[in-house]
Structure 1
Amino acid sequence: MIDNLLTGISLGFFLSFMIGPVFFILIETSITKGFRAAMSFDFGVILADIVFIAIAYFSSFRLINSIKDEPALYLFGGVIMITYGVISFLKLKKTSIEVIKLDSIRIKKDYFNLFVKGFLLNFINVGVLGFWLAIIITLGPEMEMEPNRMLFFFSCVILAYFITDVFKILLAKQLRKKLIPENILKIKKVSSILLIIFGLVIMSRGVFPKEEKLLENNFIFNHNKK
């Protein structure tokens, strides 16, 4: 159990700092909208991870293995992310500084939308499903696929992930006090551009699936060497 605890905490901490769309949008949300808004977004992200873990654990490994490598799913997820990024950027081009100043008044109504945004942003990235499947395939046999041990391990992962995100959100929030509305608008634009870039990266996994498979195999190989 101690080994599972330490491995779970290490993995959760590592996941929290993986560079991806979720990482940047979480920081941007904390800076521009505050702690509660960022937490709402993060809860949605974590729920998507829990759903992926459950799908990978309870479904046929052969079926999930074939689905996660389906290029069309990467293309679909990439297109959605790019579309969202483009729409967000175009809206921001029409946004005035006065509207940014009034953001704090509307935030209370946005918590649910931020939760859904976090869930969908994580869920459309099929690579996340592939990652959790790789974790189960790699570490599951060491825990003899015993439900209680698996539940304990993934609970440690999610909890460590969540706690690390809380600290990230708190640190990012400190910048909010030092930002003028003009800079907040710039951060939102950069966030939209990053979504477009990550959408292109996800699409590339559908166009060049062999590279994605090689990365996953390297992860499994490096773990088995330990």
Structure 2
Amino acid sequence: MDFYDLKNAFFIGFVMSFMIGPVFFMLIKTSILKGARAAIAFDVGVILGDISFMLIAYYGSRSLLEKIKDDPRLFLVGGLILIVYGLITFLDKNNKKEGEAVPDVKIMESNNYLKLLFKGFALNFINVGVLATWLGVILVVGPTLDMNPTSIFWYFATILFGYALTDLGKILLAKQLKSKLTPLVIYRIKRGMGVLLIVFGALIMLKSFIPKEDIDNLLDKVKIEQID
């Protein structure tokens, strides 16, 4: 795996950190009301939830991943998952231009970091959409890395690093972010994330109809141009 792959993985982590949902708001509110350390403890729990989902998605789809490696047309599965989740995000009935406010999430009164960590884990783990997202990413990325366990590990470790680093920025800028999260901004972010997921899913599905040799040649060309 090269720098090109790691850069893509970091970008995925950055984008996923801005998926608007309960975890996003809870992280900001925890930082404002409890401080950066409490928010970091909460975020560690969230990341542990992501790791759990990644392991479930990886080992639960191992046989399918092996088939995709030999038959790229099965990329349709990963692309379809991202499109469906993107449509759900885009068409969410709560995505209203007016009247939607930042959820008033209750924060624990004492800074019990272990409880905050567990709360972050639980809040993330009950969101089935997170599992669907990781499943879609793994079904797409695994075969492109030739199912090499080491490459897959570092790819997803880089995603988590980008995710955690972006979350750290949100924690440090929590007060400024909260003031900018108007109903209209929230609406636009949600719709934008939905469109991104749909576009990525469509591109992945299109990829399944392109011969693997052509894809490899295109990627090699892009990498060479970036180096130059």
TM > 0.5 fold call: yes
Counterpart amino acid of 2:135? L
**Aligned pairs, how many?**
161
Counterpart amino acid of 2:137? I
Higher helix share: 1
Give the 5 Å matches for 1:1-226.
1-60=2-61, 103=109, 106-107=110-111, 110-172=112-174, 219-225=200-206
CA contact 1:27–1:169 (8 Å) conserved in 2: yes
CA contact 1:35–1:173 (8 Å) conserved in 2: no
Counterpart amino acid of 2:133? F
**What secondary structure does 1:140 align onto?**
helix
Q: Following TM superposition, by how much is the alpha carbon of 1:59 offset from its aligned partner in structure 2, in angstroms? A: 1.8
TM-score by length of 2: 0.60
- Deviation >2 Å, runs of 4+: 60-63, 173-176, 215-220, 222-226
Aligned partners of 2:202 and 2:29: how far apart in 1? 35
CA contact 1:138–1:220 (8 Å) conserved in 2: no
Aligned partners of 1:56 and 1:220: how far apart in 2? 17
Q: Following TM superposition, by how much is the alpha carbon of 1:60 offset from its aligned partner in structure 2, in angstroms? A: 3.6
CA contact 1:131–1:216 (8 Å) conserved in 2: no
What per-residue deviation string (whole Å, max 9, x for no partner) do you get for residues 99-132 of structure 1? x9xx5xx32xx11111011000000011111110
Q: Following TM superposition, by how much is the alpha carbon of 1:221 offset from its aligned partner in structure 2, in angstroms? A: 1.9
What per-residue deviation string (whole Å, max 9, x for no partner) do you get for residues 140-188 of structure 1? 1111111011001001000111011111101116799xxxxxxxxxxxx
Unpaired runs of at least 5, structure 2: 65-76, 82-102, 179-193, 208-228
Aligned partners of 2:63 and 2:130: how far apart in 1? 17
Unpaired runs of at least 5, structure 1: 69-87, 93-99, 177-211
Aligned partners of 1:153 and 1:129: how far apart in 2? 17
Aligned partners of 1:224 and 1:7: how far apart in 2? 18
Aligned partners of 1:5 and 1:62: how far apart in 2? 25
What per-residue deviation string (whole Å, max 9, x for no partner) do you get for residues 4-62 of structure 1? 20111100110111111111100000001000100010000000000110111112468
CA contact 2:170–2:177 (8 Å) conserved in 1: no
Aligned in 2, Cα 1:175/1:56: closer, same or farther, shift over 3 Å?
A: closer
Counterpart amino acid of 1:14? V
Aligned partners of 1:150 and 1:5: how far apart in 2? 11
Percent identity of the aligned residues? 48
What's the counterpart of residue 80 of structure 1? none
What's the counterpart of residue 214 of structure 2? none
Aligned partners of 1:18 and 1:40: how far apart in 2? 19
CA contact 2:50–2:124 (8 Å) conserved in 1: yes
Aligned partners of 1:2 and 1:124: how far apart in 2? 34
Q: Following TM superposition, by how much is the alpha carbon of 1:216 offset from its aligned partner in structure 2, in angstroms? A: 6.8
Aligned partners of 1:170 and 1:225: how far apart in 2? 40
